[in-house]
Amino acid sequence: MSDLAQRQRRIGRIAAGVLMAFAVFYGTFGLMIEYSFSSDPIGPRGFPAGLAVALFGLGAWYWLVPGSTEEWPGQEGRIAALTFLVVSAACVLAMDWIGFVPAMLVLMTVIARLFGANWTLALVNGAGQALLWWLMFGPLLGGTLPKGPLGF
Amino acid sequence: MSFDFLWQGMGVALLPQNLLIGLIGCFLGTIIGCLPAIGPINGIALLLPIAYTSGLPPESALILLAAVYYGAEYGGRISSILLNVPGDAGAVMTAVDGYPMARRGEAAKALAISGISSFYGGMIAVVAMTFLAVPLSWLAIKFGPAEYFVLMVFAFATLGSMVGHEPVKTLLGCVLGLMLTTIGLDATSGAYRFTFDQPELHDGIEFIILVIGLFSISEVLLMLESQVKGTLKPLAVTGSYPSWAEIRYIWWPSVRATVIGFVIGVLPGTGASVASAVSYTTEKRISDKDGTFGKGDIRGLAAPEAANNAAATGAFVPMLTLGVPGSGTTAVMLGALMLYNIQPGPQLFVEQPKLVGGLIASMYIGNILLLIMNLPMVKLFARMLLMPNWILIPGITALSILGVYTAYSSVMSVLIMFGIGIVGYLLRKLGFDMAPIVLGFVLGKVMEVNFRNALALSGGEFGIFFSSTLSIILWIMAIAIVLVPIWLRRRQAARNRAGQPAA
């Protein structure tokens, strides 16, 4: 077996293990669902219990036959993905405090940078898109977007 | 039954004022449909008070709202095909084959094919509605919880077509989708399941959050990876329209999907997402001999689009004939009828021929208008992909965030979408397909609720699932859809063996 195939097998088995552990977690919490009455004989615990068993069984099958996986990103790829996710989460969390437009300006600029724009283009794109989406979903379509100290 | 209502309706729908209203509705609907944030329900809910207070007569108001509705069904496909961000629930399966076509430079063709199949689906369904609306209304009444459950079993049986060379991953995806439906308030017992005291989870994971996370955010992460590797190139866009042969080629898949979509649309509580999912898996089961579905096959694109539009039309049947809305959007439209003091029911066709006829006639005209309006714009929409990635991908991310935020006004929902996106990315890297997860999610809730309601009705007696003719027919269909392909494959293999010369 080649190194690549061995690595794929190992990754598949880790995923199968995670899924089986999740099945145990899901099944345990499923059995702890509290309810005062149920008009049907199955109740709210029945379906989750069945699904937990199915997931565990399928997880075991997956562990036995891990199949193939795609190539995973290198360090640079992982850093880029992490940057995207962290900045996205931070901007989304900050939206209610600083407002939609400033949060989107930062996010759009960072994503444009990640996709190869220089700082000037990224900033222009960030400002343009932040205003465009605010105009479209705010005043134009009547959506409720977070307002910061600047009012947008 | 007399069809006088239709002739009277044609007179109403062809009035210049109503033609203009229909055109405006179609245009607004297309825009609303392609923006994941809005969706037809919100679009109609926004327009309803405007239509009422502006003094439009009821038939004109209904024409406007209906035009927005089926315009949105057309529009939902645009962002699905171009950006992998489904514009509405019914357009999720459109992305499965539409997006790969766009990635290989055939965005214009994919948009045109989906527009034409939407037209096929919409037109055939309107014809069916004209002639079968009242007779078909019994179907909506005959379907009790047991029949709905067996229908879901049938839908899961069609999933066999999704099983590729790694069936365990398909089945795992399906179970994960089903698990997601168990989060939130259990409607039968009132218990909260897997909410961990988070109010945002009380209503469960919303469909739009799931699909935007799974499709759009995971796609952005994959693109980012390609960007870092230097393999992400701007997309080519060929201006080709489908050939006549291709337009003919999608006719039968569209017809089959229309039948499925229309029947599912007539059943209250199922909707366009179930219709497009079942039609896709059924078409794959029937036609995917070469394993091209999921890689940009025009039949895989045409089937869900036709079904989606047929379901949207089918949803009007129980609304008009019984006063039971077939979908969330028709529920809002039912509200519009009530606003005008109009009582839906079988007598509506006799008592309000101008209104019903005008509505149905406007659907014929609306479908033609939408096709005429959409086809020339196909190249324009496709050119959107020529934008540099540093403009396009921030735009996709913004649309995804806005799609969720404006729908639920909750930062937590947006974060859940990103969380689902990360899981989607990891699963895609592991070789999982996203479609079974979505299918499990779409079918799961209807299945569990009806399974338990049926057992509650029967006092725990499982015989209820076999007690009606409809259930038995559906069981036979479910068994047949699993066994017939296996039998056909074995027969073909036996013939091949018999045909081979002895070594």
pLDDT digits (tens, 9 = 90+) for B257-296: 999 999 888 887 667 888 888 899 889 888 887 888 888 8
Both tokens of B156, joined, read: 């899961």
The residue range of the domain holding B401 is 4-499
CA distance B303 to B452: 32
Q: Give B140→chain A minimum CA distance, Å.
A: 23
Mean pLDDT score, A119-135: 94
The residue range of the domain holding A24 is 3-64
- The structural domain count of chain B equals 1
Asked whether residue A30 is assigned to any structural domain, the reply reads yes
Instruction: Indicate the residue among A40, A64, A88 that finishes a domain.
Output: A64
Q: Do A45 and A79 belong to one domain?
A: no
CA distance B445 to B181: 6
What was the pLDDT predicted at B503?
A: 44
Query: Is this complex scored with an ipTM above 0.85?
Result: yes
- Give the list of residues 6+ apart from residue B466 with CB closer than 8 angstroms, or none: B472, B475
- Residue B326, pLDDT > 70, answer no
Q: Do A59 and A88 belong to one domain?
A: no
Q: Is B326 helix (H, G, I), strand (E, B) or coil?
A: coil
Q: Do A111 and A134 belong to one domain?
A: yes
Q: Do A99 and A133 belong to one domain?
A: yes
Q: Do A9 and A60 belong to one domain?
A: yes
What was the pLDDT predicted at B500?
A: 66
Q: Give A87→chain B minimum CA distance, Å.
A: 12
Q: Which of residues 181-240 of B touch A (CB under 8 A)?
A: 182, 186, 188-194, 220-221, 223-225, 227-229, 232
Q: Do A83 and A135 belong to one domain?
A: yes
Instruction: Indicate the residue among A64, A98, A114 that finishes a domain.
Output: A64
- The structural domain count of chain A equals 2
Residues of A with CB below 8 A from B192's CB?
A: 33
Q: Do A85 and A132 belong to one domain?
A: yes
Asked whether residue A101 is assigned to any structural domain, the reply reads yes
Higher pLDDT, A1 or B384: B384
Instruction: Indicate the residue among A15, A43, A64 that finishes a domain.
Output: A64
CA distance B409 to B315: 28
What was the pLDDT predicted at B12?
A: 85
Mean pLDDT score, B123-146: 82
Residues of B with CB below 8 A from A19's CB?
A: 172
Structure confidence by residue, pLDDT tens digits, B8-66:
888 888 889 888 988 888 888 888 887 765 677 777 877 777 777 777 888 888 888 88
- Give the list of residues 6+ apart from residue B83 with CB closer than 8 angstroms, or none: B216, B392, B396, B399
Task: Kindly tell me the burial class for residue A51, based on how many C-beta atoms sit within 10 Å of its own C-beta (0-12, 13-18, 19 or more).
Answer: buried
Residues of B with CB below 8 A from A84's CB?
A: 220-221, 224
Asked whether residue A58 is assigned to any structural domain, the reply reads yes
Per the CB < 8 Å rule, is A107 touching B430? no
Q: Do A95 and A51 belong to one domain?
A: no
Mean pLDDT score, A92-103: 93
Q: Out of B168, B193, B227, name the one closest to residue A114 (CB).
A: B227
Report which DSSP code applies to B196.
Answer: T
Per the CB < 8 Å rule, is B395 touching A129? yes
CA distance B78 to B305: 11
Both tokens of B420, joined, read: 């689902």
CA distance B66 to B353: 17
Asked whether residue A17 is assigned to any structural domain, the reply reads yes
List Cα–Cα distances, A71 to A59, B8, B129, B431, in angstroms. Answer: 21, 63, 50, 10
Asked whether residue A15 is assigned to any structural domain, the reply reads yes
What was the pLDDT predicted at B341?
A: 78
Per the CB < 8 Å rule, is B429 touching A41? no
